[in-house]
Every structure is written in structure tokens, then in C-alpha cells.
């Protein structure tokens, strides 16, 4: 009997775009489960030790590591670490609209590279903050969001300022 499928499909070969699509789908589903898990923890009656700021951040970081480690690394043009940083930022921001603004803002600034260094100033890291000393990407995200909240109130307002001035 003649095989009607292309040889690549019948032997199980999958292109990089398919791997990336599968990865993004799993990551989106994982993010939904993570969000539901965090909302469940937030609603628990026993808030004694569950909802301290440090405990919540530690649980988020642990779950991000678990989600990232279980994902395939076959897509060469795709960096799973950046998706973990974005997931962490999304959990910190909460709002989907503000998260999309933050992604665009930090794509413009550093492409979510925690080692991004501006040769013209002392700006460093994912948020490109001046005199940034932290090399921990999750701490950089926290500091960047703290700066945005203090100066612009929301990531969307920071992005609007960036579009006008070329920096924030």
C-alpha cells in the first residue's frame, strides 16, 4: 500500500515552527493553570503564612522554573527563559492590557535581555534602569515595575511616554 502522506510526516519529523507553536500552546495553558493556582491560594481561608509577599513570589518563581524545565528546547530561535520572564511579569502586573504594554515597552528597551547594557548610559537589564546593579532577571522585573508604578503609574502610560520621547 502506498503512503499518501509526505515522507517527513510519516517518519515523525516536525519542523521548528510546529515545535514553537506546540511550546507556545503549552506555555499559554500552563500560564492559565498558574494564574488559577495563584488565585486559589489567594482565596484560601488560612492567610497566615500563605499570602506574605515573599511567600507568593517564591511560589511564583518555583512554578516558573517547573514550567520552564518541562518544556522542549528544540526551537533554536526561541528562548524559553524570556518566556519565563514574561510570565513572571504578567503575574506581577495582573492586567492583560498593562502586560501587553509592558511587553512592548521592554521589547523596545532590551528585548527582555537581562544582560542588555546601554553603552551611552548606565542603563542595564530588562527594564534598562539607570545604575541597575542586579543581575537577577526576576529582581530586575520587580525593580522595573516599581519604577514604572512610581513614575508613570501604569506600563501603558510608560509606553506612551516612550513612544513620544524615545525613552522612559
E strand or H helix that includes residue 163:
helix 155-165
Rounded to whole angstroms, the Cα distance separating 61 from 141 reads 12
User: What separation, in Å, do the N-terminal and C-terminal C-alpha atoms of the chain show?
Assistant: 65
Q: What is the pLDDT of residues 8-65, one digit of tens each?
A: 444 455 555 555 555 556 655 656 666 666 666 555 544 555 556 666 666 666 666 5
At residue 95, the pLDDT reads: 86
Beta-strand (E) ranges in the chain?
123-124, 129-130
CA 162 to centroid of chain Cα atoms: 20
**This prediction's pTM:** 0.57
pLDDT at 46: 47
Residue 75: predicted pLDDT? 43
* pLDDT tens, position by position, 95-153: 889 999 999 999 999 999 999 998 888 999 999 999 888 899 999 999 999 999 999 99
Residue 54: alpha-carbon gap to chain centroid? 19
As given in the structure block, the three cell numbers for residue 128 are 534598562
Amino acid at each position: 500500500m502506498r503512503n499518501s502522506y509526505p515522507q517527513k510526516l510519516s517518519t515523525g519529523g516536525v519542523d521548528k515552527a510546529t515545535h514553537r507553536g506546540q511550546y507556545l500552546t503549552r506555555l499559554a495553558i500552563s500560564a492559565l493553570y498558574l494564574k488559577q493556582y495563584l488565585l486559589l491560594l489567594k482565596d484560601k481561608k488560612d492567610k497566615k503564612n500563605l499570602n506574605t509577599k515573599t511567600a507568593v513570589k517564591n511560589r511564583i518563581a518555583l512554578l516558573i522554573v517547573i514550567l520552564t524545565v518541562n518544556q522542549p528546547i528544540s526551537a533554536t530561535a526561541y528562548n524559553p527563559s524570556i518566556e519565563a520572564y514574561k510570565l513572571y511579569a504578567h503575574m506581577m502586573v495582573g492586567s492583560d492590557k498593562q502586560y501587553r504594554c509592558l511587553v512592548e515597552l521592554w521589547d523596545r528597551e532590551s528585548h527582555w535581555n537581562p544582560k542588555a547594557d546601554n553603552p551611552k548610559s548606565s542603563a542595564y537589564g530588562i527594564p534598562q534602569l539607570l545604575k541597575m546593579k542586579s543581575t537577577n532577571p526576576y529582581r530586575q522585573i520587580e525593580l522595573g515595575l516599581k519604577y514604572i508604578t512610581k513614575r508613570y503609574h501604569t506600563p501603558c502610560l510608560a509606553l506612551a511616554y516612550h513612544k513620544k520621547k524615545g525613552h522612559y
